[in-house]
Amino acid sequence: MAIRQLLASSAALALGAVMASAAMAQSTEQAPLSPRGQSIHDAAAALVKSNNTERLDVLKAQLEAAGVPYTLHAFEGGNRQTGPMSGNNIVITLGEGEKDIVLLAHYDAAVLRDGAFSHGVVDNAGGTLAVIAAAKALPVSTMKHRVVVVLTDQEELGLIGARKWLEQADKSRIAAAVNVDVAAYGTTVMFGLNNGPASAGLVRTLRTHCADTNTDCVAFPVYPPSEDRVFTAAGLPVLSLGIQNPIGARQMWLAFNGGQDNGLREGFVPDVFQNIHTHEDKMDKLKADDVAAFADFVTQLVVKIDNGQH
Ligand SMILES: [Zn+2]
């Protein structure tokens, strides 16, 4: 009986493998992108540049072409490796209100170990474009909060852009912040639970939103650091979001939260960590319609936060 069940289940597994490879063969055939996905795709491709000054110039041109007013927040940053280095955050202020909801994504890409400049598609052109698309779709005229979108520089040098922005911001205005980092493919939303007690209300709102939208969301007790940490350190409510395919999200969960018996094979590195900060973080990873869908998710999440008691 046990053996028969085992055989039956391994037959099912084999069938599963056949179906999975069929599905993969299908997904490699390029389905045409939606118009919104296509524009995200083209914007991401344009962001593949050889340094962050050029990325900044491309983003500015994209915002100007879209008629989105912005200001630049220039700062003196850099770290021990780079020495003093000036940076520029892009700030987009939308609507009015006594308090702000801050949307964050870093647009800078990393310099790789061999000195090459990352294409920075997964980390973090996708997240940057998701935040811009999400912000554009917000019904700001009917919202209670002002929305401040901060596209940050020098995240890769140590969360510097967000820190410099927050240093000069009126913190008493900040009701909530939502950070997006690593968002280029997949329909599973990942988020951290390690943003302090001030963020508990936001986490509840997010969980409700996941349920309302029937979105596969994975809560990470330990989630990799991004610029959310700057807000957490200041005691401000913040969420940090990313997207992944469902399996990659679980593998990442296990890698960060599973301890020694996480079940991942020796030396296993989750998909996303094989790509970011390597030569592999390039346009072939982008699934622009996933980014567009995630942008909708973020828009609706911000509307929920706006309606809540934050
Ligand atoms: Zn990043």
Write out pLDDT tens, residues 127-146.
999 999 999 999 999 999 99
Q: Which two tokens stand for residue 39?
A: 């524009």
Contacts of 43 (CB under 8 A, 6+ apart): 62, 125, 129
Q: Half-sphere exposure of 3 toward its Cβ, with a 13 Å CA cutoff?
A: 0
d(CA 12, ligand 1 centre) in Å = 39
Q: Which two tokens stand for residue 160?
A: 């510097």
Kind of pairing, strands 85-94 and 100-106?
unpaired
Q: Ligand 1 centroid vs 133 CA: distance in angstroms?
A: 18
Task: Record the pTM.
Answer: 0.90
Q: How far is the CA of 305 from the centre of ligand 1 (A)?
A: 24
**Residue 110 CA, ligand 1 centroid: distance in Å:** 8
pLDDT, residue 271, reads: 87
Starting at the earlier edge strand, list the strands of the sheet with 174-180. Answer: 71-77, 85-94, 146-152, 100-106, 174-180, 238-244, 188-192, 217-220
Distance 131 CA to ligand 1 centre (A): 13
Rounded CA-CA distance 77/66 in Å is 29
Q: How far is the CA of 141 from the centre of ligand 1 (A)?
A: 31
Alpha-carbon span 172 to 181, nearest angstrom: 25
On whether the CB atoms of residues 165 and 70 are closer than 8 A, the answer is no
Indicate if the pLDDT at residue 15 is higher than 60.
no
- The angle subtended at Cα 290 by Cα 196 and Cα 94, nearest 5°, is 60
Q: Which residues surround ligand 1, an ion (CB under 5 A)?
A: 123-124, 181
Q: Which residue has the higher pLDDT, 9 or 259?
A: 259
In this prediction, residue 11 has a pLDDT band, given cuts at 50, 70 and 90, of: very low
Question: Tens digit of pLDDT for each residue in 26-75?
Answer: 555 678 999 999 999 999 999 999 999 999 999 999 999 999 999 999 99
> If DSSP states are collapsed to H, E and C, what string results for the chain?
CHHHHHHHHHHHHHHHHHHHHHHHHHHHCCCCCCHHHHHHHHHHHHCCCCCHHHHHHHHHHHHHHCCCCCEEEEEEECCCCCCCEEEEEEEEEECCCCCEEEEEEECCCCECCCCCECCCHHHHHHHHHHHHHHHHCCCHHHCCCEEEEEEECCCCCCCHHHHHHHHHCCHHHEEEEEEECCCCCCCEEEEECCCCHHHHHHHHHHHHHHHHCCCCEEEECCCCCCCHHHHHHCCCCEEEEEEECHHHHHHHHHHHHCCCCCCCCCCCCCHHHHHCCCCCCCHHHCCHHHHHHHHHHHHHHHHHHHHCCC
Percent over 90 (pLDDT), the chain: 87
Q: Is the pLDDT of residue 18 over 50?
A: no
Would you state the pLDDT for residue 3?
A: 43
CA pseudo-torsion sign 21, 26, 30, 32:
negative
Residue type, 58: V
Percent of the chain's residues with pLDDT above 70: 90
Q: Mean pLDDT, to the nearest integer, of 199-218?
A: 98
pLDDT score, position 28:
55
pLDDT value of residue 26: 52
231 pLDDT above the threshold of 70: yes
pLDDT digits 0-9 by tens, 101-121: 999 999 999 999 999 999 999
pLDDT at position 160 over 50: yes
With a cut of 90, say whether residue 259 has pLDDT above it.
yes
Cβ contact 180:105 at 8 Å: yes
Cα 88 to ligand 1 centre (Å): 16
Q: How far apart are CA 242 and CA 233, in angstroms?
A: 20
| Range of lowest pLDDT (22-26, 169-173, 280-284) | 22-26
Taking 60 as the threshold, does the pLDDT of residue 21 lie above it? no
Confidence of residue 309 (pLDDT cuts 50, 70, 90): low
Position 2 pLDDT exceeds 70: no
